[in-house]
Each structure stands twice: as structure tokens, then as C-alpha cells.
Amino acid sequence: MTIRVALAGAGAFGLKHLDAIKQIADVEVVSLVGRELDKTREAADKYGIRHVSTDLAASLALKEVDAVILATPTQMHAAQAVACMEAGKHVQVEIPLADSLRDAYRVVDAQRRTGLVAMCGHTRRFNPSHQWVRQRILAGELHIQQMDVQTYFFRRTNMNALGQPRSWTDHLLWHHAAHTVDLFAYQAGAPIVKAHALQGPVHPTLGIAMDMSIQLQAANGALCTLSLSFNNDGPLGTFFRYIGDSGTYIARYDDLFDGKEQKIDVSRVDVSMNGIELQDREFFAAIREQREPNASVAQVLPCYEVLHDLERRLAG
């Protein structure tokens, strides 16, 4: 059975999904939605996509569409995810699920009402480097004592990953912290029970804090310290240090090293080294097998409850 997909968001991350889907058998992107029609049509022509629109509703009206991937601005995620499910379409929404806890609950409620597959793009669960660590944890060979994580970008202007102007404002807490908050609870194997945060000055134009420090503790005592910055003019990206009871591991994107900087081969952990492809494969497999996917909207909901609590503390 070929799964026919509509992809909304023809920007930097949407193109990553299009490249990933090309590697997956029996999946076809039949509709592409973007903000600017000419640019969207150009991308559609490159990937051989027949239907193009600037309106998600036009794609949802297509009977042939089985599922939707949302790579749209954060502020649109929740409402669009609900609209997809109400139209009878399975949905994968890019991280973050929402930018408020109320909206996150709306998405989870829609999934429960419809019974459709609804997944959020918490890619760190799928990156081979983090999968390798999780395999050690599940085998009982490693227990996380502490995670030290740095998420660093240089974004003093409103640009996307391709260096192009953004139509929306990114957020350290609701987007970038979500990756680590979810991964920490997932790898620690216990819910987060304590959370604290500090933030630096608010940018006068963007209206967001450009630096943030977050401290977490899981119910089993494991700790996580997360530093985030949009001011960092140095090595960019997110770097994870796992400190366990039987080893230390450092993940830099898809590369993994031990505490002595010896590289670990993670090429055989899964069928690909591309975390986005592996994430998409899980989405389509869950549709075919009629099961809950890893990183379902229900599974990642506790992450957004923690973010909500941190936001309240920062506002107070």
C-alpha cells in the first residue's frame, strides 16, 4: 500500500522531509503547501509533486491524501494538527507540538477522539547516536546520572537554517529546549519532577530571551543541565554529554564519542544515519501497523507540561 502524503511548509525543514521521504519505499508526496506560491511550485517541480497550494485546507480536501507532515511555523502547529485529524488524516507535526500547554492538550484530545496516528518530530529519539545510548540503557548496561547539554546558535536576526529571513520568531524554550526536556525523561526512564530556569535579557526587536539556563531532575534522581543561546558565535548546534554509572558518552549530532573522545561506530544502529528519515519511517510504519508511534503526541505531552511550568516560573 502506498501512503500518500501532503507536506505543509516548503522551508528549510520541509525540504529535509522531502529528501528523507525519497529514501522510503511506498510513500509518495502528492501535495506541497507553502507560504509563497512561486517558491512552493519551484520546490514541487524539483521533487515531482503534482499539487501545490498556499492553503492547507486545499490539501486536506484531497481524498487521496492519507497523511500530513507539518513543517510550518511553530505558532501554527497545534491548530493545523487538529485540522488534519478532523479531516481524517494522520499527522506528524514538527517539534514543537505547540507553543502553549493548552494547545498541546487540544492536539492530544483530537488524537484520542479520532484514533488517528499523531506524532511529533522529537528527532533526538531517532538519531542513531542517541539510539545507541538508549540501547545500552534498555539492556541494563547504563543508567543516566546526569546529562549536560548545550544548544547554541547565532541568531541575532530572524533567519532560518538556510540563512533566509523568517516570517515567524523562533523560541529557545518552546522549541529548542523541548528537544532536551523530552530526551532527558526518555533516556532517564523517569518523569521530570523538578525544573528551574533562568533567562537573560530580552532582545529589543525579536521580543524573546536570547540566553537561557535550565536545570531538571527526574524522579530517579538523574540530573540535566541545559544551556541555550542565540548569541553564540562559535561552534553551532546541540551537544550532549551523557554521564552514566558505567560510562560517559558525548553526542554531537550523529557522531558519538566516549569520555576519552574515542569515536563509536553508530552506522549499524538503524537502517539510516538520517534522524529525519528514521522519524518519518516510524510515522509511516505506525500508520501501516495501526499502532501508536514512538514520539506520539501523548508520549511527548509531559515535555510540554514541564515547559509550561518553566514559562510560568520565568514570568513570575
Instruction: Please name the residue ranges forming H helices in 139-266.
Output: 177-188
pTM of the model: 0.94
Range of the domain at 262: 127-269
Determine the Cα–Cα distance for residues 242 and 12; give it in Å rounded to an integer: 29
Determine the Cα–Cα distance for residues 154 and 233; give it in Å rounded to an integer: 5
Cis geometry, peptide bond prior to residue 204 (ω within 30 degrees of 0) = no
Supply the CATH number for residue 74's domain: 3.40.50.720
CA atoms within 13 A of residue 180's CA, in its CB half-sphere: 31
What local confidence, expressed as pLDDT, does residue 157 receive? 62
What local confidence, expressed as pLDDT, does residue 154 receive? 81
What are residue 244's DSSP bridge partners? 144
Q: Are residues 179 and 195 in the same domain?
A: yes
What local confidence, expressed as pLDDT, does residue 26 receive? 98
Query: Does a structural domain hold residue 307?
Result: no
What local confidence, expressed as pLDDT, does residue 158 receive? 57
Q: Are residues 280 and 256 in the same domain?
A: no
Using CA of residue 265, residue 269, residue 273, residue 274, what is the dihedral sign? negative
Q: Are residues 67 and 113 in the same domain?
A: yes
Query: How far does Cα 275 stand from its chain's mean position?
Result: 10
Query: Does a structural domain hold residue 303?
Result: no
Burial class, 28, CB count within 10 angstroms (exposed 0-12 / middle 13-18 / buried 19+): middle
Neighbours of 228 (CB within 10 A): 26
Q: Are residues 59 and 93 in the same domain?
A: yes
Q: Are residues 66 and 34 in the same domain?
A: yes
Query: Do 292 and 84 contact (CB within 8 A), yes or no?
Result: no
What local confidence, expressed as pLDDT, does residue 208 receive? 82
Neighbours of 102 (CB within 10 A): 10
Q: Are residues 70 and 200 in the same domain?
A: no
Residues 82-94: tens digit of each pLDDT: 999 999 999 999 9
Query: Do 191 and 205 contact (CB within 8 A), yes or no?
Result: no
Supply the CATH number for residue 242's domain: 3.30.360.10
DSSP letter string over 237-299? EEEEEEEESS-EEEEETTEEEETT--EE--TTSSS-S-HHHHHHHHHHHHHHHTSPPTTBHHH
Q: Are residues 31 and 138 in the same domain?
A: no
Query: Does a structural domain hold residue 314?
Result: no
Q: Are residues 153 and 197 in the same domain?
A: yes
What local confidence, expressed as pLDDT, does residue 236 receive? 84
Q: Which of 314, 34, 59 is closest to 172 using CA atoms?
A: 314
DSSP 122: -
The total number of structural domains that make up the chain:
2
For the chain, residues with pLDDT lower than 50 are: none
Beta strands in the chain (DSSP E): 3-8, 27-33, 51-53, 67-70, 90-94, 118-121, 144-152, 192-199, 211-218, 223-229, 237-244, 248-252, 255-258, 263-264
Indicate the average pLDDT of the chain.
94
Q: Are residues 204 and 281 in the same domain?
A: no
Query: Do 307 and 174 contact (CB within 8 A), yes or no?
Result: yes
Asked which of 251, 269, 287 is the last residue of a domain, the reply is 269
Query: Does a structural domain hold residue 241?
Result: yes
Q: Are residues 118 and 22 in the same domain?
A: yes
Residues 113-167: tens digit of each pLDDT: 999 999 999 999 999 999 999 999 999 999 999 999 999 988 766 555 555 655 5
Q: Are residues 146 and 248 in the same domain?
A: yes
Determine the Cα–Cα distance for residues 188 and 292; give it in Å rounded to an integer: 21
Q: Which three cell numbers stand for residue 80?
A: 493545523
